[in-house]
Chain A
Amino acid sequence: MKLTQEEQDMLDGKYGKSAKKSMEILTTLGEIFDAECMVDVYGVQIAGVSYANLGEAGLEFLSEMAIDGKVRVLTTLNPAGMDRENWQELGIDKEFAKNQNRAIDAFAKMGIITTCSCTPYLIGNAPHYGQHLAWAESSAVCYANSVIGARTNREGGPSALASALTGKTPKYGYHLDENRHGQVLFKTNTPVKGTDEFGVLGKIIGDKLVELGKKIPYISGIPLATVEELKSFCASVATYGGTALFHMEGITPEYNKYPIPKDFVFEINQDDLDKTRAELIDDDLEIDFVSIGCPHASIHEIEKIARLLEGKKVKKEFWITTARPTKRIVDEVGYSKIIEDAGAKFAADTCCVVAPIKGRFKGIMVDSAKACYYGRAKNKFKVKIGSIEECIEEAIK
């Protein structure tokens, strides 16, 4: 790999031990993937924040990197294993909370903004078209590449941190034009609406891509999509298909930059949506937990929840998972009070995928296809997908 003088100096240890270790990680990855050089990144999103995933080993690594490591670019964090202010009320034990805070403190010491969210693009880690990034968090990677048209590979925890501490990433994969072409055309012949339905669409496409061994879909027939629908779609297609980039005709900025794929063409009809939705609803279901905010709920979604819950009472455990800055805004405008008066709870900084809630509930209802996957696989819940309206109906029933 060709390195600039600055990059070589980092590798030689002139910028300290953590920068040296980081550059070792990045140059090795670059060589494995045949990168010619490094590229400067605008920002970093780090995954591997929940203590449940890090463990003592991960924490020790972070603490060592924090001895002399300082970020050189804007860097934010993925959700943690708990709400940092409200963890006790959400049933998180003391020992876990202590360890989770040790991990977050190590990140903070390196100058990382410890807003723990899977939607950095909603809260100020907002890249623009064409910018290079080193993001972890599969749903955010998919959003950045596809909806924004920025460029990032799917990073892991240590490689994202290495980019944060050096401001560099090896230039391969999705950083290069030649790897961003659509591979499979999906023609949607039926209206798709709402976060739940976009999640269902993501599962249809993700499953098909895995079957074909392909990664980049080109989707036509969707006239309009909201930010919330797209973030739900990104989370789903990344979960089920490992997809880091898609093109959507008339919606995403690079849709007409590359040829429309011809070799693999599939149609998606109402039947497919119905069938796949049914796959996301378990039999013998007893719902005792409702959660909205996978990926983290936006202001707009929380406003909608407040409107639907006003003057009502929830009868089941109901979490709204969101980013701390979003929570502060909805506190200010009064949505939080309406929601909390109805008995629902906010779980900021965390989510139902990474919080240590395995076995705590029997059945979960969500508007997210990604949350269905992890609810089943990781937390052993039965699951049901539905619209936000249906989730609220279930909660107050």
Chain B
Amino acid sequence: MKLKGRKIYKGTAEAEAIVTKDGISFYGGVDPDTGEVVEVGHELEGQSITGKVLVFPTGKGSTVGSYTMYRMKKNNTAPAAIVNKQIDTIVAVGCIISEIPCVDKIDINKIQNGQKIIVNGSEGTVEVK
């Protein structure tokens, strides 16, 4: 199944999907040293997003979150790619400065946790294998 969305940041990645219905705040909500979601009560609390395709509706929280994503990239704890229902400026800027492939305007209900997916940020597509 190939889903067509909008390109946010170029590049391709193939990895396992980690999917949540909750918004993500990278600043304060994710530990940039371990890649774990640390927001109390978050659906992904305690799980690592490192090397996965992170699928969530939209970003939230402080604009410092863009810098947190950059730090994750430098620490090798960043997700391999990001898929959103609707991008917000914090995650968009974070993906650009950290060079993480990113696509939005995707019906994220069609992606299941653990599925292998290919994100093509240059074409704005997500392929579920």
Residues in A lying within 8 Å of B, measured CB to CB: 21, 24-25, 28-29, 31-32, 47-48, 53-58, 60-61, 156-159
Contacts and interface: CB of A to CB of B under 8 A. Distances in A.
Contacts of A24: 9, 96
Contact of B64 (A29, A31, A56, A58): A58
B95 to A, nearest CB: 8
Contact of A21 (B6, B87, B97): B97
A57 B92 contact: no
Interface SS of chain A: helix, strand, loop or mixed? Answer: helix
Interface string B66-93: 1110110010000000000001011011
Contacts of B70: 57-58, 60-61
B38 to A, nearest CB: 15
B8 interface: yes
Contact of A29 (B63, B71, B89, B97): B89
A60 B70 CA distance: 9
A32 B93 CA distance: 11
A53 B71 contact: no
Given A28-B93, A28-B96, A47-B63, 7 more contacts: A28-B9, A28-B92, A32-B87, A48-B64, A53-B64, A55-B64, A156-B93
B32 A29 contact: no
B89 A156 contact: yes
Contact of A159 (B8, B71, B89): B89
Nearest to B69: A57
A32 B92 contact: yes
B63 to A, nearest CB: 4
A56 B97 contact: no
Contacts of B66: 156-158
A57 B33 CA distance: 11
A56 B97 CA distance: 15
B119 to A, nearest CB: 16
Nearest to A61: B70
21 contacts: A25-B97, A28-B8, A28-B9, A28-B93, A32-B87, A32-B89, A47-B63, A48-B67, A54-B64, A55-B64, A55-B67, A57-B67, A58-B64, A58-B70, A60-B70, A61-B67, A61-B97, A156-B90, A157-B66, A158-B63, A158-B93
A153 B90 CA distance: 14
Given A48-B67, A157-B63, A60 B74 contact: yes
Contacts of B96: 21, 24-25, 28
A156 B63 CA distance: 6
A29 B67 contact: no
A193 B14 CA distance: 61
A228 B73 CA distance: 43
Nearest to B95: A28
Contacts of B92: 28-29, 32
- Most chain-A CB neighbours within 10 Å: which of B8, B68, B71, B90? B71
B89 A57 contact: no
A47 to B, nearest CB: 8
